[in-house]
Each structure stands twice: as structure tokens, then as C-alpha cells.
Amino acid sequence: MAEIKLYNTRTRSKEVFAPLDPENVRMYVCGPTVYDRAHIGNARPVIVFDVLFRLLRHVYGPKHVTYVRNFTDVDDKINARAAQSGRSISQITAETTQWFLDDMAEVGALEPNLMPRATAYIPQMITMIEDLITKGHAYEAQGHVLFDVRSYAAYGKLSGRSIDDMIAGARVEVAPYKRDPMDFVLWKPSDDATPGWDSPWGRGRPGWHIECSAMAYELLGESFDIHGGGNDLTFPHHENEIAQSCCAHPEGRFANVWMHNEMVQVEGKKMSKSLGNFFTVRDLLDQGVPGEVIRFVFLSTHYRKPMDWTDEKAAGAESKLDDYLRSVDLYGDLDAARIAAPDQGIIDALSDDLNTHGALMGLEWMANHAQGTKLAANLVFLGFYSFEQLEAKIDEIRAGKLLLIPLGNALQAARARAMETKDFSVVDEMKDKLSNAGVLVKMSKAGVELEPGPNFNAAELETLK
């Protein structure tokens, strides 16, 4: 069995991963708030933890891994979107949840085993809040219930801050009903225009942080193996999750390993609407950037380093993947690939704190050494294609090659005539049309070779017939 090492934010060190129960490896990752399309930054934790999910399934067996990723479907942003659009909250959350699943499938992400919606776990949240009050870790004030951060001595250890430092360096909500500025909301009142549920403290709705604690406990227990998300969640969200979960269930540890991915930039700058460099996964897909290209760009950078999306990287990724498909076409056996195990070198790279760049170097080696069958198996393992998609891609390449045979012969004949007449205008015109159709044209002393390129478009070849 492969030895997996993961960087644990809690201990600030890379550790050998030892699951609490190898028969039931459990991972929780914070999911989206569903009110709009997922931007490319939202896709990074999905892709990162999808790779970890695939690795864990390989090492421990698919039936022995439970991956939970939630949907936050009660939130003030959702309420605002409903008020702005005149649509119901349920319509908005149902639509945007499906958008998210569709877009993440396009970038090769497997669906987690469980995808709970926050609104389905309100009773469990109320029960946890009641328990926290009973144990002296929370208090009611003016229709709100707040967590008392001073009651948990370990508060701040995940993010490496003291409570006093947090107060000095953070913008916190100033409210007269708070005992301490750092106390955070577990439950808040709802007016008639806002979603709400009956509770011992009146009609209201949960705070953000309690959602994940309640769902993780119900689905994974008081202790589980891995908790993941973007590093923007380390504080306050994950810090607050630890506090309320460990206080509600002191017999447990909550998550053993905490993993956080770095943020996404665009062309070297922080992504923002004001800079005009903010775009969604769907924007890229609609612009013709394939999902596998998005995934390749993301996996080219280690998850704990900032990832810079650039047009140049996308073009390079598309070219690489096209090369890999040609190698599979020339040297691969898809039937054999379906039953082949992932390459041990790629498993070893991923086992070293998800060294995805190293895994991609493994693909490069296979392509350069005519290991088409192995390459196909590992392209699927890393989530770039399913076998059905890979088979369709290879069929397209082979159909394109057949289509190009007579055109290659015609170009060869035109070239021979041009060599005699010294007039290469016809040859140049044919080459231009072929290039515009996404055909790679190679001419040498040995003859003419035509290959379908990444942007091959058979319809554009009609003018050459």
C-alpha cells in the first residue's frame, strides 16, 4: 500500500497519512454557496480534492472512501439574489446547484459520495446549538445565539493567532449583544421576508459556520480524517468549525488533517470584477476552452502555491493534451488501458502531498516513450477523460486522418508542380486553408504529412475538395 504524505495546516508540517479506519476513510470539503455560476477560483478546491479522492480510492478501495462536499443553500447572498430577481430562493438554489455540478463535471470532477444541502440539516444544527448552550460554550442574546470564543482555550491554533491579535487585526462585527467582539453567530433571527425555521430562540436561520459542523458530525462522526477547502476559509470559517465541533463533541477530534489550497490569479493579478479579469468556468467553456484544458492548467501548479491562469498556459495545455491523444492513437490499446492499473510513478507523485506537477511529468514521459496504453489509463485516472470520452477523441483523430489522406496527396502533387514552375502560390493557398481548418502541415524531403490539430474543423476543408 502506498504511503501518502499530506501537509497538515494544523501542525504546519507534512505528515504520513494514517486514517482512523482504513475501511472507512472520511473526507469533508467545504462546498459552494449556490447563488450564481462558479468562478474559476471556486473550481480549484474541487479539482484539488477530486485528485485526492481518486488517490484515496485507488489506495484504500472505492468502497472504503467517503467524500462529503456540502451546498450552502441558505445565505444572505441568496436572499439578496432572490429579492433582486423576483425569483424564489428554491428556484435559484436548485438552478445554481445544477449549474455547479454540470460545470465541475466538465473539468473532470467526480461527484462526492454525499452532497448535503444545509437546509436539510436545520434540526441537527439546532440540536448542536442547544448542546453548546448547555455546556456553557454559547449564549442567547436578543434573538441571536453566539459562540463564546473565550470558552475554548485552543481557539486560534489552526490559523496561528491569539484572540487578542485577531481583534486587533481583523474587522469584526460590532454588536451590543456580543460578550466579546470575536464571538460569532450560531443562530440569527429572520424577518417575514427572510427564510426562517422555528427554534427555541424564535424564528430564525443558522449562521454560516454551524452548517458544516452539523453536517460533518451527522455524516462522518465526531472524528474523521481530512477536512479541506481554500485557504481563505482557514479563518474564520474553519477556526470556528473546530471550536464549535470540539466543544459540542469533546470526545472527538473533528478533523485530523486540515488541507488548504492557495488562491487563483489571472494573468498575474488578483481576480476581481473591477479589473475585468473575473470569469466563471462556464465563461471559459463557452469560449471554447475544453474542460480538460482547465484541469491541466490547474494541476500544473501545486495546490499550496498560487495558481496563475493565463491564455498562454491554456494554449500550452491544449497542445500537450493534443500530443497525448496522438500518442494514444499511435501506440495505445484502449481495451488494455481499461484494465491497466495507474502508473506507480504517478501514484508516488500524488502520494507526496499531491504533487500534480510530478504526475503530469509522468504523462509527458509516457507520451515521449510511445507508452500509449499506459498513457491512456493514466489520463483517465487523473480525470482528464473518461474512457468513453477518450475513445471518442481517438475516433475523431482517426476520422480526420482518413479525411486528410486525399488532401495530403493533392498538396503533394501541387508541391511537385510548384517545384517545376517555381510558382508556389497554389501550395501556399492550400497550406493556409489547411492551417485555418486546424490541420498541422509538415513538409519535408520525404513528402507531405497532414495531422488534425487541436482546433481541427472538418467543415472548413470543404473549400479544398
d(CA 55, CA 228): 15
Q: What is the mean pLDDT of residues 113-130?
A: 98
Query: Which pLDDT value is given to residue 124?
Result: 98
Query: Which pLDDT value is given to residue 171?
Result: 53
pLDDT of 166 above 70: no
Mean pLDDT of the chain, nearest integer:
94
Confidence of residue 235 (pLDDT cuts 50, 70, 90): very high
Domain 5-261: give its CATH superfamily. Answer: HUPs (3.40.50.620)
pLDDT tens per residue, range 5-63: 999 999 999 999 999 999 999 999 999 999 999 999 999 999 999 999 999 999 999 99
Q: Which of 142, 138, 122 is nearest to 130 (CA)?
A: 138
Confidence of residue 368 (pLDDT cuts 50, 70, 90): very high
Q: What is the mean pLDDT of residues 323-332?
A: 96
pLDDT tens per residue, range 379-388: 999 999 999 9
Instruction: Tell me which amino acid residue 438 is.
Output: G
pLDDT of 170 above 70: no
pLDDT tens per residue, range 30-40: 999 999 999 99
pLDDT tens per residue, range 258-296: 999 999 999 999 888 778 888 999 999 999 999 999 999
Measure CA of the first residue to CA of the last residue in the chain; give whole Å: 57
Helix-strand-coil split of the chain, %, nearest 5: 50, 15, 30
Query: Which pLDDT value is given to residue 465?
Result: 61
Q: What is the mean pLDDT of residues 411-429?
A: 93
pTM of the entire predicted model: 0.92
* Angle between helix 344-351 and 40-60 (nearest 10): 120
At CB < 8 A and 24+ separation, what contacts does 98-105 make? Answer: 99/37, 99/38, 99/282, 100/32, 100/34, 100/38, 100/42, 100/71, 103/37, 103/38, 103/43, 103/280, 103/281, 103/282, 103/285, 104/38, 104/43, 104/46, 104/281, 105/291
Query: Which pLDDT value is given to residue 167?
Result: 62
Task: Spell out the domain ranges in the chain.
Answer: 5-261, 266-385, 389-464
Percent of the chain with pLDDT over 90: 86
Query: Which pLDDT value is given to residue 174?
Result: 67
Q: Which of 311, 227, 229, 225 is nearest to 48 (CA)?
A: 229
Phi, psi of 258 (to 5 degrees): -110, 125
Q: Where are the alpha helices (DSSP H) in 221-353?
A: 239-248, 281-286, 291-299, 311-331, 334-338, 344-351
